Amino acid sequence: MCFIAGGFSARAQRTIAISTKNTSMILSVDKSGSLDFQAYGKRIERAGVFDAFVPNDDHHLNMRVPAYTTRGGDYIGAPALSVMHADGGMNTELRYVSHETVKGEGVEKTTIILHDTMQPLEVRLVYVAYQDEDVIESHSEIVNLGKKEIVLTDYFSSSVMLNASRYLLTRFWGSWAHEFQVERVQLSHGVTSIEDYCGVRTTHKSNPSFVLSLDASEFSETSGEVVAGALKWSGNYKIDFYRDETGRLQIRSGINPMSSEWHLSKGETFVTPDMVYTFSANGAGQASRNLHDWARRFGLYDAAAVAPTLLNSWEGAYFAFDTKTLTDMMDDAASIGLEMFVLDDGWFANGEFARNSDKSGLGDWQLNTSKIPEGISYLADYAHAKGLKFGIWIEPEMVNPKSGLYQKHPDWVVNEPGRDIIPLRNQYLLDLSNPAVQDFVFGVFDSVMQMGDIDYIKWDCNRHVLNMGSSFQKHQSHFYTAYTLGLYNVLARVREKYPKVMIQSCSSGGGRVDYGVLQYTNEVWTSDDTDAAVRTQMQYGFSLIYPSMVMGSHISAVPNHQTHLSTSIKYRTDIASSGRLGVELQPKQMTADEKKVVMRAVDGYKSFRDIIYQGDLYRLQSPYDGPDTANLYVSKDKKRAVLFVYHTEYVLKGFMPQIRLQGLQDGASYKVTELNCTKSVFWGNGKSFDSDYLQSFGMNLKLRDTYSSAVFLLEMDNQ
Ligand code: DGJ
């Protein structure tokens, strides 16, 4: 099929509607066979109207937008796909060949096949529409149909086009121990990017996700059109927002093309990672709930599993422990009512390489017999005898130069021959793009699992790529992408062999928080900053994209080890209780009162955690907008709810925050009970209130001290 010059005015010939219950993404094929992007937003019932669509035909403007933009053809925006063809040609013009939609339970998958007009190249665009969740996932599959190698220079997952008068972008910035800080910008003309090129540990500085409020100058939880997105990829990413001269916005998202040209041999296919989109006509709150629902039903590994409350040894013991330190901690964990003990860093390597600090030992995954002569199985059995599950920390992608592994396999380290290897936290990165290293990393997991009856693995990753280079890769430009594919290959093998073990994705705290890794892991370690004062904002940001059920949040000691700030044990407990609750301190250093507060909270948490994990989150008040943060989780049947209120600033003498609830059953009444307290801050504690009172007027609370908090359980009357 050949391209008709001046095809801007070509009429649409065939419409392909990718729809969910309330949203539609409309694509159409014009006379020339070009597959164009028409719209994404509220559901369009009779999408066939696009069959007769006549676009603006002024060819000075870039009005027609391919569904998958390419370098070549008539579109001059950002190409999702740029190919260097075997004959040196640099242009790609895709034309529709066929499409099919397959329906599953609550899911419709549409695959559209496109071919280049001249080169032996096929592109398959895959859209999966999750009906009830209003989520559409999209990726591309690029197939070399020719006899010679081609090179992909840009191979983004997807491109969509929005049309609004203005675009308010909510994005995340941060660093180690300061993840998920929220920033809002009005998009100007030209390109705004969210990207990372650290290779691994890619989500400290930003996150491959966003919330976009359309036609809005203010962010709203409850009104206005919103598109939110997240990329399922744990390596370098790039999400470009290109506001063109007509005011429309192209979003191009996928693997960051920086230094990542991909050589595709004859017959090979490259499958890009999925980009997840949702659209809400009712503000950002609904967009987050859509993503959370989708994640729980389709996006997360084993979202039905209940997370045990835990004691993690890191901030309580660091590297200094022996068997008795650990068994004492387990005794304390059990007496507090916790359900798991996690042995963190420091349990492995011997002799000169013993892991007594971060300077040595990584790579030598043998038990440190001076610290724990009795063995891991002894600790695991001890935990189980106490009624606790047992978890253990590994960091299998890393090696210290001071280790037996490095002496044996210096060739496995990421570097460029001739250049110094730059250490980070005294360690080097293993080249996971190399299948031999993948086998080793899988072997670390596998052999640690054999050391005892292990229920949980904390998989850490404490550095990023500097001086990229692989002794395995023929094309160095494959390294970044192949590393992440190597990681997923290992995780897939792990899951095949160990479907039930719980895995936490940790990377110096929140350096690997994305929906790519969450296909294999049950949770993430949100941040190494456990300060409740800081977590108020961080957890707010996190919740915009990710559900609380994957958010590790621990009660730690004061002064906080990162910020040196002190908050009350109640405040720390109430913050940690809105995620996957854990404790990370030396219980022996707790006062009897502190222990009591934590025990009471752990007990209460067990009774409502199902609401936090599986319910709907309403962010009632944002930490960015005033002295109070309030989050309400409502069970799907609306019969129960948990309200968290955090007062983070002194306001005025006598000031009482007034919190208006959302999401309750109209016409119902709820009994309100304050938890985690001896004296309630609510005058109506223990009484029942109609939902219209709670939602229209709200609860006025005697929360006056900086960093004071309250937790309430709401139960529908007469159920
Ligand atoms: C970084 C993690 O984020 C911490 O929780 C802890 O596991 C340390 N690594 C151990 O080295």
Q: Which residues line ligand 1 (CB under 6 A)?
A: 314, 344-345, 393, 460, 462, 506, 508-509, 525, 528
Distance CA 474, CA 485 (A): 16
Question: Considering the chain, what percentage of its residues have pLDDT values greater than 90?
Answer: 93
How far is the C-alpha of 714 from the C-alpha of 505, rounded, in Å? Answer: 33
| Cα–Cα distance, 309 to 470 (Å, whole number) | 40
**CA of 460 relative to ligand 1 center, distance in Å:** 7
pLDDT tens sequence across 250-267 = 999 999 999 999 999 999
Of all protein residues, the one whose alpha carbon is nearest to atom 10 of ligand 1 is 345
Tell me which of 48 and 540 has the higher pLDDT: 540
Ligand 1 atom at minimal distance to the Cα of residue 506: 3
CA of 393, closest atom in ligand 1: 7
Q: Which residue's C-alpha comes closest to atom 6 of ligand 1? A: 314
Tell me: pLDDT of 169 over 50. Answer: yes
Q: Decide: 60 and 85 in contact? Cβ < 8 Å.
A: no
Lowest mean pLDDT among 54-63, 334-343, 369-378: 54-63
pTM for this prediction: 0.97
How close is the Cα of 31 to the center of ligand 1, in Å? 58
Structure tokens given for 493: 């093998």
- % helix / strand / coil in the chain, to the nearest 5? 25, 35, 45
Query: Which protein residue has the closest C-alpha to ligand 1 atom 11?
Result: 345
Q: How far is the CA of 169 from the centre of ligand 1 (A)?
A: 32
Q: What is the mean pLDDT of the chain?
A: 96
Mean pLDDT across the stretch 349-353? 98
Distance of CA 509 from the midpoint of ligand 1 (Å): 7
User: 114-168: per-residue pLDDT in tens?
Assistant: 999 999 999 999 999 999 999 999 999 999 999 999 999 999 999 999 999 999 9
Q: Which of 344, 460, 529, 616 is catalytic?
A: 460
> Can you tell me the distance from the alpha carbon of 563 to that of 552, in angstroms, rounded to the nearest whole number?
19
- The atom of ligand 1 lying closest to the CA of 458 is 7
338 by Cβ neighbours in 10 Å (0-12 / 13-18 / 19+) ranks as buried
Assign 116 to helix, strand or coil.
strand
Q: From the alpha carbon of 344, which atom of ligand 1 is closest?
A: 7
- How far, in Å, is the centroid of ligand 1 from the Cα of 342? 12
Based on the residue annotation, tell me whether 628 is a catalytic residue of this protein: no
Q: For 415-474, write each residue's pLDDT tens digit.
A: 999 999 999 999 999 999 999 999 999 999 999 999 999 999 999 999 999 999 999 999
Q: Say what the pLDDT of residue 2 is.
A: 28
Listed in sequence order, the residues at least 6 apart from 184 whose beta carbon sits closer than 8 Å to its beta carbon are 168, 169, 170, 171, 219
How many angstroms does the Cα of residue 396 sit away from the middle of ligand 1?
13
> Does position 295 have pLDDT exceeding 70, yes or no?
yes
- Residue found by looking up tokens 């989780």 in the block: 633
Residue among 525, 526, 529, 583 to mutate when testing ligand 1 (max atoms within 8 A of CB): 525
What pLDDT, on a 0 to 100 scale, did the predictor assign at position 467? 96
pLDDT of residue 595: 98
* Candidate from 508, 512, 526, 580 with most ligand 1 atoms within 8 A of CB, to mutate: 508
pLDDT surpasses 80 at 568: yes
Question: What tokens appear for 84 in the block?
Answer: 């260097």
345 C-alpha vs ligand 1 centroid, how far in Å?
Answer: 7
Q: What is the 461 CA–ligand 1 centroid distance (Å)?
A: 8
395 Cα: distance to centroid of ligand 1 (angstroms): 9
Based on the number of CB atoms within 10 Å of its own CB, is 48 exposed (0-12), middle (13-18) or buried (19 or more)?
exposed
pLDDT at 61 over 80: no
58 pLDDT higher than 80 = no
Q: Is 528 among the catalytic positions?
A: yes
Whose C-alpha lies nearest to ligand 1, atom 9? 508
Q: Express each pLDDT in 224-258 by its tens digit.
A: 999 999 999 999 999 999 999 999 999 999 999 99
Q: Which atom of ligand 1 is nearest to 358's Cα? A: 11
Q: Residue 584: what pLDDT? A: 98
**Could you tell me if 358 and 426 are in contact, meaning their C-beta atoms sit under 8 angstroms apart?**
yes
Could you tell me the pLDDT band of residue 53, with boundaries at 50, 70 and 90? confident
Q: What is the largest CA-CA distance in the chain?
A: 80
**Cβ–Cβ < 8 Å for 68, 254:** no
Q: How many helices (H) and strands (E) does the chain have?
A: 11, 37
pLDDT the model gives residue 5: 29
pLDDT (tens digit per residue) in 533-561: 999 999 999 999 999 999 999 999 999 99
pLDDT at residue 12 in the model: 57
Q: What pLDDT score was predicted for residue 76? A: 87
Type of residue numbered 627? P
530 Cα: distance to centroid of ligand 1 (angstroms): 12
Q: Give me ligand 1 centre to Cα 373, in Å.
A: 23
* Distance between CA atoms of residues 547 and 293, nearest Å: 8
Distance (Å, whole) CA 470 – CA 709: 51
pLDDT of residue 9: 37
Distances (CA, A) of 355 to 290, 360, 363: 44, 6, 10
Closest atom of ligand 1 to CA, residue 509? 3
Mutation test residue for ligand 1: of 357, 506, 538, the one with most atoms within 8 Å of CB: 506
Atom 2 (ligand 1): residue with closest C-alpha?
A: 508
pLDDT of residue 517: 98
Quick one: average pLDDT of 355-359?
98
- Residue from 528, 531, 574, 616 carrying the catalytic annotation: 528
pLDDT at 60: 73
Nearest CA to ligand 1 atom 1: 508
User: Is pLDDT at 490 greater than 60 in this prediction?
Assistant: yes
Instruction: Compute the distance from residue 580 Cα to the ligand 1 centre, in Å.
Output: 17
Best of 178, 201, 204, 314 for a ligand 1 pocket test (most atoms within 8 Å of beta carbon): 314
